[in-house]
Amino acid sequence: MGFEVLFKGKNMVRLLQGLGVALQISLISVAISIVLGLILGMLMSLKKPFINLVSRVYLEIVRIMPQMVLLFIVFFGYTKLTGRNISAESSSLIVFSFWGTAEMADLVRGCMAGIPKIQYESSRALGLSRLQTYIYVIIPQIVRRLLPLSINLITRMIKTTSLIMMIGIVEVLKVGQQIIEANRKSSPHAAFGVFATIFLLYFIACWPISCLAKYLEKKLA
């Protein structure tokens, strides 16, 4: 079935290391995206015309551009423009944060818009200050709505990191290809075993996160 190649040499360890690279890039990007997305989302909620225009253009670019094209633009474009080298890892962090920030900001904006005006008014009628209203009433509601949605963003990022092998990063999918290539003669069916294992690895990484999102969604609804 092709699973035997995994036990040759350090193949399994290399696959896991590849998964580690993918997870590392996605988790750093997620962390950056959450922070920047929160800031941008709140700015967007201020409804200032200039911020609205800029953020609309930004969100639209992210929406219509395939992530792979963004990766190529940053990785090759940067070098072309500045004449300096940019590492594939930095490029992917830039692209994934650029994408994640847009998604996160849109989620934050949506959650903030979803808080009815009466929540602010009844807080004020009770004598709560603006700050108290945000701390006790508004932000807890936003976090509850945001948490499951942003966790889903993490799983989507992990899956999309499979693209970064296109700019030469040796992540789990690339390792898999290398193993298959190297064992073409001795194990002609390696492809099945290797990809099935990679499927399993992605599943093990994403499934608990997805369960957590579902659990939180239910618990905090």
Partner 1 sequence: MEEILKVEKLTKRYEDITVLENVSFSVKKGEVLVIVGPSGCGKSTLLRCINGLEDIQDGKVSIEGKTGMVFQSYELFPHMTVLQNLMLAPLKVQKRDKGEVMKEAEQLLERVGLSSKKNNYPRQLSGGQKQRVAIVRALIMHPEVLLFDEVTAALDPEMVREVLDVILDLATQHKTMLIVTHEMNFARAIADRVIFLEGGSIMEDTTPEEFFDAPRSERAKRFLSTFEYKKKE
Least Å distance, CB 150 to partner 1, is 17
Nearer to partner 1, 97 or 123 (CB): 123
Footprint on residues 2-61 left by partner 1 (CB under 8 A): none
- Between residues 90 and 122, which has the closer beta carbon with respect to partner 1? 122
Q: Which of 7, 66, 118, 181 binds partner 1 (CB under 8 A)?
A: 118
Please give the full DSSP string across 14-80, using - where no structure is assigned.
HHHHHHHHHHHHHHHHHHHHHHHHHHHHHHHHTT-HHHHHHHHHHHHHHHHS-HHHHHHHHHHHHHH
- Indicate whether 216 belongs to the interface with partner 1 (CB under 8 A): no
Which 3 state secondary structure label does DSSP give 148? helix
Q: How far apart are CA 80 and CA 73, in angstroms?
A: 10
Check: CB of residue 152 under 8 Å from CB of residue 213: yes
Q: Binding pattern to partner 1, positions 165-194, x when CB under 8 A?
A: ------------------------------
Cα separation, 125 vs 141, in Å, equals: 19
Per-residue binding letters, 125-154, with partner 1 (x by CB under 8 A): xxxx---x---xx--xx--x----------
Residue numbers of the site for partner 1 (CB under 8 A)?
Answer: 116, 118-119, 121-122, 124-128, 132, 136-137, 140-141, 144, 220
